[in-house]
Structure 1
Amino acid sequence: MAPLSVRSAQKPAGLSIAAEQKIGQATSVVIPLAELGAMGYVTWVLVYQICVQYLINPSERMQRDFNVRSQRATGITLIVVYALLLLLLLVAALRLIQMIWSRPDLVPLGDPSSEKMNATFNGFAFDQYDAFICDYQGVPLWCDKCQNWKPDRAHHCKELGRCVRKMDHFCPWAGGIIGESTHKWFMQFVAYTALYTTYVWIVIAIFLADHHSKMDSRPGTWIGALVTAVLFSLFTVTMSGMTGWNLTINYTSVEGIQRGGIHNIAFLISKTTQPPISLPPTPPARNKHGELPDGGWPVLCTTQRNSGKRYVVMQTRPLEHPWYTTPMMGWKDTMGKNVVDWFLPIRQSPCKQKSRRGEFEWAELVYDMARTYEANNPGIRLAILEGVR
C-alpha cells in the first residue's frame, strides 16, 4: 500500500524496463493473493479455533481438566463483529481492484514519431480551461516517454510505462496504480484493513492470555495469527494516517516527495484594452530564500495559441501548492461531499468532475496570483476571476 518500488537498490545487470514492468505487474497480482491467504488463516484461527472451539463449544477435556466454561454469547458476538469488519474490508478491496484493473486514469499514448514542438493536442482540454500547469513558454507539460501531453497532476508511472492522472503511487499491496479514480477506494481499503487487523490482534491477544492462564499453553497457530495481525495493523494504521493527511492537504504522494518545487501556470486572458505585452523570457532574480524582492509572483511571458487565445504565464513561489484549499475541502474533494460517501465505496470521487477553471479546484493562492496581475495591469482581465472577484 505504501509508495514502494518493486526494484531493488542494485538492479541486476541487463534488466530491461520491460522486465521491470512485468515484475511490478506480477507482484500486484501475487501480493493481493498472499493477503487473501493471510485473511483466510486469521479467520480460521479467530472464528474456528478461538470462538468456536474455545468459547462456544470447549471440549470436555478443557471443561474437566482446566475449568474452561462455555462463553457462547461472547463467541457469537465476536464472530458477528468480525464478519461485519471483514465484509467492509472485502467490499472496499474488490471495488479498489475492479477500478484499478479497468485502468481509467491512464493517459493515452501519443504518436511515437511526434515531438513536443509539433504535436497536436489530440482532444486534450487545455484550451478549454481558464488556467493550467505549463512550462516556461506557456505550453502544457509533455511526457517524452508517452509522447503525449500531461494533464495537470499527471505523472509517469515506471511500473506501467504510462502517465497516470493525479498519480499517487504504484501499490502492489493494493493490486496496482493509485490515481484519480482509485484514491478514494484506496483510503477506504487501508482504513478498513487497519480497523479489521486491529480488532483481530486485540481479540487474539486477550484470549491467548486467557488460554495461557487457564491451560498454561500458547497455541502456535494463535501466536502466528497474532503476529500477522499486529504487523498488518501497524502498517495499515500508518498508511491510513499518511493517506488521510495527504487528502486533507490535497497532496498526492508524488507531490509530497516533490514538495518545495515551483509551478508555472498559464492564465487565460479574457479581455484586454492594452497593446501586446512584452515581458522578459526568464524569471526575475530571487533572493537566497527563493523569494522575489517585492514578495509577489514572477510573470514569465505571454503567449498566443493558434486559436487566438492569449495567456499570461506566472510562477508560484517555493512550497506553494496550487491545489491546497482547506483540510475539509481537500478531504471532500476525494472522499465525497457527505459522510455516507466517506464510508461506502459506491460513488466516484468529486475530483473527477471537471470545471471550466481547471482540471482540479485551484487554491486561493492561484486566484491571488490572478488578482495581483490584474492590479498591476489594469487593462487586462483574466478568465479565472470571472464570477469570483
Structure 2
Amino acid sequence: MTFESTKAASRWVTRVIPVILAVAVGYATYVTVARVCVVRGDPLSFVLTLIVLLLVDFLIHDRQQNGSAVAVLVLYFLFMFLMVATYLRTIITINTDPGLVPLGPLAVSRRSNDGNDKSHRGDDLEGQPYFVTPDSNPDSPGLELFYTKDVFICETDGRPKWCSECCNWKPDRAHHSSELNRCVLRMDHYCPWAGGMVGENYPTAFKFFVQFTTYTACYCGIVLGAAGSTLKKQMSSGNGVDGFLVGALGLGGFFSLFTFMMTITSLRYVLLNMTNVDLLGSRTKVYQLAVRIPRGSEGTDSYHVINYPLERPGSSYSANQRNNNNNGTRARVNTPSMGHEARDALAIRTFAILRTEAGENPWDLGYWENWKEVMGTNIIDWLFPIRRSPCVKHDQTESFYRMGKIVDEVRARHGIAPDSADGPDGLEMR
C-alpha cells in the first residue's frame, strides 16, 4: 500500500524526479566510463567496456594510466551501487511505512461517509474542522497510550495534544501533514526526492536518506574529479574541449553541492535528535510535560496535577478518589476483601504538569546517544541500509521516545526527585 500526497503537483513531481535522477546517473556513467577511462567515446565502446567490467577485465584504450583508470572505475561503481541501494531502500521504506497515526472513530466515519479525505464541513472554504475541541469523554480511545507512560507531551490541562482533523490524540512529536491529510509520527517533511513523507519511518528512512545523500555526494565527487582532470589534460594537450565532459562537470558540480549541503543538514538533525519540524522556532519553543509523580500528590505553587484515568462526572468512584487524594490516603494492595473501587484506585496515576525553558529539547540524549538512536550501534549499521533505527522499536515504557537529562532538570526545578514516581510504598503500577 502506498501513501501519496493529496496535492496533484506533489504527486507528479514525486513521479518525475526518479526519472530525472536515472537519466543523470546514466549520463554520468557514460561520461566517466567512455570519456574519462576510455578514449574512444563512441556508444559501442561504452557498451563493450561495461561488458568487460562485468568480467573483471578492464580494457583501457590508448592510455598508459591504467591504474588511475581502474581506480576511478572501481570507486565510481562502488559509490553508484551504494547510492542506488540506499535510494531504493529509502523509497521503499517511505512508501510502505509512513508512520501514520490511526484516525479516530469520528474521522473514520466522516471520511467514509464523504467518500474522500476531506475533513471540513461541505464546501465551506471558511469552515472549521469537524471537531476542533478535544474529545471530552473520560474514556476517549487512545488516552491509555499516554497515561501508561511516565512522561508525555501535554496541553495546559494535562491532556495530550488533539488533532481536530484526524479526531485523535497526537503522540509525542506527531504533527498533521497537509500533504497526506493525516497525522504523522515524528514528522519531518514531505520529500519528492525520496518519494513521499518522512515520518515515523523518519529515523529509519532518514538513516537511509543520510546514507543516500552521503554516498551521492561521494559519487558526484568522483564524477566531478574525473571529468575535471580529464578536461584539463585535454586542454593542456591542445585537443580541444569535450562537450560531454563539460556537461558532466555541470551536473556533477550542481549535485555535489546539493547533496553535500543535504548531508551536512541531515547529520545536524541526527546529532541533535531533532526533525525539521522540531527545529522550527526551536530557540523559543516551550514544551509542557505531564510527569508521573506519587499517586495522590497535590499541586504546588509552581505546578498543578491531573489524575488518570480521568474522572467520570457524577460517579461515586470519582468523588471517593478525590477525597482519598485530598487526604493523602492509599488503598492497601493486600486487602482480600477489597472492593472494586479500592482495587481500581490502585490504577490511578498522578501527573505533574511541568514546563521546559525556552529552547530546551527534551529528546536530546547527547551527540553520541543521538547518533546511535538513528544510525544504529555499529559500523555495519552506519554504512549499509540493512537494519532499522533502534528508536523505532518503542521498547521502553517511560515515554514515546527516549528523553534526556532535560526532563530530570525540569523535575529538579520543581523539587521532584527523578525516582519519585513509585512513591514510598511502592504501590504504583508499571
Q: Is residue 99 of structure 1 aligned with residue 93 of structure 2?
A: yes
The CA RMSD over aligned residues, in Å, is 2.8
Q: Is residue 41 of structure 1 aligned with residue 27 of structure 2?
A: yes
Output the CA distance in 2 between the equivalents of 1:212 and 1:383.
Answer: 77
Output the CA distance in 2 between the equivalents of 1:123 and 1:220.
Answer: 64
Is residue 85–residue 196 contact of structure 1 (8 Å, CA) maintained in 2?
yes
How far is 1:144 from its partner? 1.4
Is residue 5–residue 180 contact of structure 2 (8 Å, CA) maintained in 1?
no
Is residue 295–residue 348 contact of structure 2 (8 Å, CA) maintained in 1?
no
TM-score normalised per structure 1: 0.79
Go from structure 1 to structure 2 and tell me whether the alpha carbon gap of 1:310 and 1:271 turns closer, same or farther (over 3 Å shift).
Answer: closer
Is residue 143–residue 169 contact of structure 2 (8 Å, CA) maintained in 1?
no
Q: Which residue of 1 aligns with 2:316?
A: none
Output the CA distance in 1 between the equivalents of 2:144 and 2:222.
Answer: 47
Q: Which residue of 2 aligns with 1:350?
A: 390
2:420 match: secondary structure = strand
Q: 2:164 aligns with which of 144, 167, 172?
A: 144
Aligned residues: 338
TM-score normalised per structure 2: 0.72
Q: Which residue of 2 aligns with 1:265?
A: 289
How far is 1:19 from its partner? 8.8
Output the CA distance in 2 between the equivalents of 1:300 and 1:169.
Answer: 35
Go from structure 1 to structure 2 and tell me whether the alpha carbon gap of 1:196 and 1:51 turns closer, same or farther (over 3 Å shift).
Answer: same
How far is 1:331 from its partner? 0.9
Unpaired segments ≥5 residues, structure 1:
1-17, 59-67, 281-297
Is residue 374–residue 381 contact of structure 1 (8 Å, CA) maintained in 2?
no
Output the CA distance in 2 between the equivalents of 1:43 and 1:124.
Answer: 55
Output the CA distance in 2 between the equivalents of 1:177 and 1:36.
Answer: 21
Output the CA distance in 2 between the equivalents of 1:150 and 1:19.
Answer: 20
Output the CA distance in 1 between the equivalents of 2:219 and 2:172.
Answer: 36
Is residue 21–residue 161 contact of structure 1 (8 Å, CA) maintained in 2?
no
How far is 1:134 from its partner? 0.7
Is residue 187–residue 200 contact of structure 2 (8 Å, CA) maintained in 1?
yes
Q: Which residue of 2 aligns with 1:367?
A: 408
Q: 2:72 aligns with which of 73, 78, 91?
A: 78
Unpaired segments ≥5 residues, structure 2:
47-61, 111-130, 311-346
Output the CA distance in 1 between the equivalents of 2:145 and 2:24.
Answer: 45
1:302 match: secondary structure = strand
Q: Which residue of 2 aligns with 1:305?
A: 309
How far is 1:52 from its partner? 2.1
Output the CA distance in 2 between the equivalents of 1:54 and 1:77.
Answer: 19
How far is 1:154 from its partner? 1.1
Percent of matched pairs sharing the same residue? 32
Q: Which residue of 1 aligns with 2:12?
A: 26
How far is 1:35 from its partner? 1.1
How far is 1:122 from its partner? 3.7
Is residue 130–residue 267 contact of structure 1 (8 Å, CA) maintained in 2?
yes
Is residue 100–residue 200 contact of structure 2 (8 Å, CA) maintained in 1?
no
2:79 match: secondary structure = helix
How far is 1:25 from its partner? 2.5
Cα shift readout 1:88-116 (whole Å, capped 9, x = no counterpart): 11111111011011034111222226662
How far is 1:47 from its partner? 1.2
The aligned amino acid for 2:83 is L
Q: Is residue 117 of structure 1 aligned with residue 135 of structure 2?
A: yes
Cα shift readout 1:27-52 (whole Å, capped 9, x = no counterpart): 12211221111111111111122212
How far is 1:271 from its partner? 4.0
Is residue 336–residue 349 contact of structure 1 (8 Å, CA) maintained in 2?
yes
How far is 1:302 from its partner? 3.0
Is residue 212–residue 218 contact of structure 1 (8 Å, CA) maintained in 2?
yes
Structure 1 residues 102-251: aligned runs within 5 Å: 102-110=96-104, 111-112=106-107, 116-118=134-136, 120-122=140-142, 125-181=145-201, 182-251=205-274
Cα shift readout 1:115-166 (whole Å, capped 9, x = no counterpart): 6223623486212211100111111111112222211111122222221111
